[in-house]
């Protein structure tokens, strides 16, 4: 006996990695903001959010919330200007 098409689609969707389920690494688990400021001198905090070529990873891949993505962008731009991070290769 075959399962209805609706059930098959639900099972297929559950197996996928849903980016909306990712948690922001800068936010606290209960929703409060743990990180108020991303320092441009903190290379270790920014490195996982850039790829090999120096591009900033999109929120879809990194799982960072909008507020912290904007902070991250500004910190990376400052670090690039100060010469701590390379511009895109």
Domain boundaries of the chain, sorted by first residue: 36-89
φ/ψ (deg, to 5) at 6: -60, -45
Is the pLDDT reported for residue 21 higher than 60?
Answer: yes
- The mean predicted confidence, pLDDT, of the chain is 80
Give me the count of residues in the chain: 89
CATH 3.40.30.10 fits domain 36-89: no
Identify the pLDDT of residue 78.
94
Mean pLDDT to the nearest integer, 38-51:
90
Three-class SS state of 50: strand
**Contact by Cβ (8 Å): 69, 27:** no
What does the pLDDT average to over 38-43? 91
Q: Is 27 helix (H, G, I), strand (E, B) or coil?
A: strand
């Amino acid at each position: 006996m075959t399962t209805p098409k609706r059930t098959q689609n639900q099972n297929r969707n559950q197996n996928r990695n849903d980016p909306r389920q990712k948690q922001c690494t800068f936010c606290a688990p209960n929703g409060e903001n743990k990180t108020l400021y991303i320092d441009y001198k903190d290379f270790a905090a920014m490195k996982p959010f850039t790829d090999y070529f120096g591009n900033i990873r999109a929120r879809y891949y990194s799982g960072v919330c909008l507020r912290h993505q904007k902070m991250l962008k500004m910190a990376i731009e400052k670090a690039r200007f100060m010469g701590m991070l390379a511009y895109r290769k």
